[in-house]
Homo-oligomer: A and B are copies of this chain.
């Protein structure tokens, strides 16, 4: 144990190297950060000596303190990691973001959420990041206050505008209304809706009317609203549309909900789902019940994850540009970091992708 301690304690620093080479500490620093500030021969000699001494380069923490920049972006999730990643949409967004910040030598600090619908404030307060991005947190997440208290710039994905934050979002309401209109146009009149969390309490089940109001998750609110409003405009009373809330966006939870929806009387001939994962669950549930999609029931999803093209049957869904969303968020984060003012919200387009899971009502 002692040896570990002393190993760690005795690591060489800039000064060690400077002394060994016989130059000032500033010069060694320049060798790493500003090669143009010294002759290349000296630089070579410094780097060489550093290597020999086992010096791996300037300590990241000390550098961060001196530059007042930690070169990291924090990513706040609405739930724990396993739940969060069960929706491939998140992976894709995060990948887009990661590749962007990565390209600028920034790293990614992940902050998993808990039952409050976001990371605990203490996590946020202590995170070494100089810009935060919030992904689909409920409007009420306490994490936001922590971010504000630290005065960190913020970019929100899929969320209402917060003072002093940049935002990227997708036209969820519009996309949902596309989906509903499609089904309406195909002659359907009996619907069921399958949504993911409306409230951060981790509840799954049929959605009562009270529960439909004051929904803190913007995405759920908009998609559900888009479905229901559109149906209502076409004369389908919301009271007659059963809605199931799954506590996450995964296939199995979708199957559970769809089973419930498909055993209502009268049985819906069309299911509107808040995500593709949920829709895949519907496909499965239909199969379980001996129903054929789309003959007996039409299903439409939301997201257009890659797998949607290969499901059985291929999924009709609303496409949103997931990777772009992540990339754009990354760019915004970098921009705020550079001192930019939050620009106007970036709003990404959605479009309907018609495949085989929705058809004329028979």
Q: How many copies does the complex hold?
A: 2
A149 at the interface (CB under 8 A from B): yes
Quick one: which of A290-322 are within 8 Å of B by CB? 306-307, 310, 312
A339 touches B4 (CB 8 A): yes
- Asked if A234 CB lies within 8 Å of chain B CBs, one says no
A93-B91 Cα distance, complex, nearest whole Å: 15
Contact with B along A87-106 (1 / 0, CB 8 A): 01011101100110010010
| Chain A interfacial positions (CB closer than 8 Å to B) | 1, 4-5, 7-8, 11, 54, 56-57, 60-62, 64-65, 68, 70-72, 80-86, 88, 90-92, 94-95, 98-99, 102, 105, 107-112, 122-123, 125-128, 146, 149-151, 153, 251-252, 255, 284, 287-288, 306-307, 310, 312, 323, 339-341
Contact, CB under 8 Å: B82 / A95:
yes
Q: A312 touching B284 by the CB < 8 A rule? A: yes
The reply to whether B98 and A8 contact each other, CB–CB distance below 8 Å, is: no
Contacts of A7 in B (CB 8 A): 151
Do the beta carbons of B57 and A125 come within 8 Å of each other? yes
User: A64: which B residues are within 8 A, CB to CB?
Assistant: 61, 128
Asked whether A95 and B72 contact (CB < 8 A) given A61-B64, A105-B126, the answer is no
For the complex of A and B, the 5 pairs showing the least CB-CB separation, nearest first, are: A82-B95, A85-B91, A81-B95, A56-B149, A56-B150
Q: From residue A271, how far is it (CB to closest CB) to chain B in Å?
A: 18
Out of B60, B111, B125, name the residue touching A126 (CB < 8 Å).
B60
CB contacts (< 8 Å) of A11 on chain B: these are 151
Please report whether the interface of chain A is mostly helix, strand, loop or mixed according to DSSP: helix
5 A-B interface contacts by CB (under 8 A): A1-B341, A56-B146, A56-B150, A95-B112, A288-B312
- The smallest beta-carbon distance between A312 and chain B, in angstroms, is 7
Q: A107 to B81, Cβ gap below 8 A?
A: no
A122 CB to nearest chain B CB (Å): 7
A111: chain B residues within 8 A (beta carbon): 107-108
* Chain B residue at minimum C-beta to C-beta distance from A323: B82
Known interface pairs A95-B82, A110-B108, A252-B307; A8-B54 also in contact (CB < 8 Å): no
Known contacts A82-B91, A107-B128, A110-B110; A62/B60 CB under 8 A: no
